[in-house]
Structure 1
Amino acid sequence: MNPLLAKLQPYPFERLRTLFTGVTPNPDFTPISLGIGEPKHPTPAFIRHALTDGLAGLEAYPATAGDLKLRESFTGWLQRRYGVAVDAATQVLPVNGSREALFALAQTVVDASGPVPPVVISPDPFYQIYEGSTLLAGAEIVYAPSVPERNFAVDWDSVPEEVWARTQLIFVCSPGNPTGAVMPLDEWRKLFALSDRYGFVIAADECYSEIYFRDEPPLGGLEAATELGRTDFKNLVMLTSLSKRSNVPGLRSGFVAGDAEIIKAFLLYRTYHGSAMGGAVAAASIAAWGDEAHVVENRAMYRAKFAAVTPLLEAVMDVRLPDAAFYLWAGVPAAWNDDDQAFARALYAQYNVTVLPGSFLAREVGGVNPGQGRVRMALVAGTDECTEAARRIVDFIQNRALS
């Protein structure tokens, strides 16, 4: 067996199942889960139709690079959304969702053949694929904490110079999971300067980019690079997906775009990896990337939902409307002494509502786990169900305060 597999930690949802072992939730309440970030809004009918119409192409093997029409659907969307020009022939590739692409990109980029283990930097808290892909690539992972006082911006300045010197890859998640924070242009400028100095690759995970609550859409990595005159996207790859944007998590469809040299190496890796996108999925993807009306409607549903839920929870928890994404990153009340796991377990037992302990989404560095004392709530279900969950959480907290 690959000995690196022993370094992998249990996934957050496995830890949640363990936490709830032996707990029988209150049968007076129907179960409501805010634990998993799986979109629940209906998939648009036109995407379903495009998928079934595309089944006519099942007799042919798909190309790993995708056909030109598929790649042009990516570049067309990038131009409309961000105003950036990307070469459909050399700077984009289809992927089977951003999750597998994040993992595969690390295997492509990281060179662990030297005498000193290379470094990959991840935000903390983080999406666990960043950690797993790093460890299985033979690299050392270093965590850069998010700072609540700066709206959960990542503290890149906390990384020592000697660590930057060994860094080959950093993961950027903007809008962030679980915090919803969006990285501004000044921080992109800082990371580009560090990349130029030390030569590392920036992987920009942007799968939540289309769910936002302000008038101004979140800044993207390619967009930031273009504004700063870096139109070759040197050492930059962005990754995105249709899962959240178009409510098709089961489609497993997304794309990567950026530095042509990295894309070329990534294509080589993927050719051997056997990860070509099937024709039916490609047909549905082309339809989805070409339409914005359903995205606007989807965003409006999230805005209405957060407008209903956030004020209820603000009265009893440290929580506020995020910049973007569909999570609330809520601080548990002082009565729980920062014990997010005890909070989640008791809430599940008494009110049959599932939330994810923030400590499961982060790692302790210097004696501090930046997720401790917080819980992540995924507002992916309908407005009525999410509002009911919020009311139960309010009752749960207020009843604890009165006891």
Structure 2
Amino acid sequence: MNPLLSKLQPYPFERLRQLTAGVVPNPAYRAISLGIGEPKHPTPAFIKDALTAALDGLAAYPATAGEPALREACAAWVQRRYGLSLDPATQILPVNGSREALFALAQTVIDPTQHAEAGGPAVVCPNPFYQIYEGAALLAGARVVFANSDPARNFAADWSSIPDAVWATTQLLYVCSPGNPTGAVMPLEEWQRLFELSDRHGFVIASDECYSEIYFREGPDAAPLGGLEAAAKLGCSDFRNLVALTSLSKRSNVPGLRSGFVMGDAKLMKAFLLYRTYHGSAVGPAVQRASVAAWNDEAHVVENRRLYREKFEKVTPILASVMDVALPDASFYLWAKVPDTVCGGSDEAFARELLAQYNVAVLPGSYLAREAQGVNPGAGRVRMALVAGVEECVEAAERIKAFILSQSK
């Protein structure tokens, strides 16, 4: 067996299952889950229609590079969303969802034979983080270095906490903006700092942007800044050592479709295509046709944002009356602090007792982070995914409030 597999930690949801294995939820309440970030809004009918209409294409092998029509639809969306003109043939690559691509990218760019004096090449990522970053780095033969989130800066990652000696051995930096689980969006000045570090040390930046279309403000500057957009604003038109990854899962409520694309540095994209050709990662023809329909339509995305905006407007004040929580920059998560008077401030105990007494599932924040610089920045917090319907999310919030008040007496 691959010895690197022993370095992998259980996935957060497996840890949650272990935590609650002996819990019998209060039968007086119907189950409500805020634990998993799986969109529950209905999949638009036109996407399902496009998927079924393309089933006659199953008799042919799909090309790893994707059909020209899909790459062109992706490029057209990038132009509308970010004002960028990308070459569909060399700067865009369809993938089976951003998760698959985030993992495969590390296998493409990491050279495990380098930096032996430092214990191997480094992969830097935010903390808390999406656990695929860690697993991808470890299985590529790299070591993971974490940049803790800073509550004083709306939970933005503190990249300045990474020593220069680590940056010198870094081969890949994972960025997530809007962030999971904090919802923090990186401003242009922060991107500029990371681009300068990448130019100095030659590492690749992978910008995970799967939550980019779920935001709450309105107006011309409401949409979160993207990595390639930031590079263009700063005069880097070739996107050297930079790729961004996006997905239809959250944008279009199709997590089961497994469809997204990667865009950026043409040199990196060429190497990534080579890797994925051997990995057997071509997107199925029916999925490609449905994806073309999804990327070409924006009306359903606007409606999707409206539903999330309504939920956050109703749920956030309820929870803010009893715990430290605020509207995020973007995404569909609330990153809430467990009150010290409830379960001793323990995120694990909070999640377990809330499920037992009020049948609401949330995810302990410590499961989404690692101890770094002496602390686990997720400890004492819980992640709540507002993915269910409006009424269900409001009901869950009222139950959480009742639970906190009952525990605080």
TM over 0.5, shorter chain = yes
Query: Deviation of residue 81 (structure 1)?
Result: 0.2
| 1:118-137 matches, cutoff 5 A | 118-137=121-140
Separation (CA, whole Å) in 2 of partners of 1:144 and 1:392:
34
Q: Indicate yes or no: 2:308 matched with 1:305.
A: no
| 1:188-267 matches, cutoff 5 A | 188-215=191-218, 216-267=222-273
- 1:82 counterpart residue number: 82
Query: Deviation of residue 338 (structure 1)?
Result: 2.9
Query: Deviation of residue 248 (structure 1)?
Result: 0.2
Separation (CA, whole Å) in 2 of partners of 1:136 and 1:63:
26
Q: Indicate yes or no: 2:396 matched with 1:393.
A: no
Per-residue CA deviations over 1:34-81 (Å, capped at 9, x if unaligned) read 000000000000000000011111111000001211100111000000
Separation (CA, whole Å) in 2 of partners of 1:297 and 1:205:
23
| TM-score (norm. length: structure 2) | 0.98
| 1:330-341 matches, cutoff 5 A | 330-335=336-341, 336-341=343-348
Q: Indicate yes or no: 2:77 matched with 1:70.
A: no
| 1:17-32 matches, cutoff 5 A | 17-32=17-32
Separation (CA, whole Å) in 2 of partners of 1:18 and 1:70:
41
- 1:4 counterpart residue number: 4
Q: Indicate yes or no: 2:353 matched with 1:321.
A: no
Please list every run of at least 4 consecutive aligned residues from structure 1 whose deviation after the TM superposition is greater than 3 angstroms.
none
RMSD of the alignment, in Å?
0.6
Per-residue CA deviations over 1:355-378 (Å, capped at 9, x if unaligned) read 000000000113200000100000
Counterpart secondary structure, 1:334: coil
Q: Indicate yes or no: 2:276 matched with 1:270.
A: yes
Consecutive unaligned residues in structure 1, runs of 5 or more: none
| TM-score (norm. length: structure 1) | 0.99
Counterpart secondary structure, 1:238: strand
Query: Deviation of residue 214 (structure 1)?
Result: 1.3
Aligned residues: 402
| 1:72-221 matches, cutoff 5 A | 72-114=72-114, 115-116=116-117, 117-215=120-218, 216-221=222-227
1:286 corresponds, among 289, 292, 297, to 292
Query: Deviation of residue 21 (structure 1)?
Result: 1.6
2:406 counterpart letter in structure 1: N
Counterpart secondary structure, 2:331: coil
1:355 corresponds, among 353, 358, 362, to 362
- Whether the aligned pair in 2 keeps the contact of 1:92 and 1:256 (CA below 8 Å) is yes
Counterpart secondary structure, 1:94: strand
1:48 counterpart letter in structure 2: K
- Whether the aligned pair in 2 keeps the contact of 1:310 and 1:321 (CA below 8 Å) is yes
Counterpart secondary structure, 1:58: helix
Consecutive unaligned residues in structure 2, runs of 5 or more: none
Query: Deviation of residue 23 (structure 1)?
Result: 1.1
Separation (CA, whole Å) in 2 of partners of 1:129 and 1:286:
27
Query: Deviation of residue 202 (structure 1)?
Result: 0.2
- Whether the aligned pair in 2 keeps the contact of 1:164 and 1:198 (CA below 8 Å) is yes
- Whether the aligned pair in 2 keeps the contact of 1:179 and 1:327 (CA below 8 Å) is yes
Identity of aligned residues (%): 71
Separation (CA, whole Å) in 2 of partners of 1:307 and 1:170:
34
Counterpart secondary structure, 2:129: coil
- 1:381 counterpart residue number: 388
Counterpart secondary structure, 1:209: coil
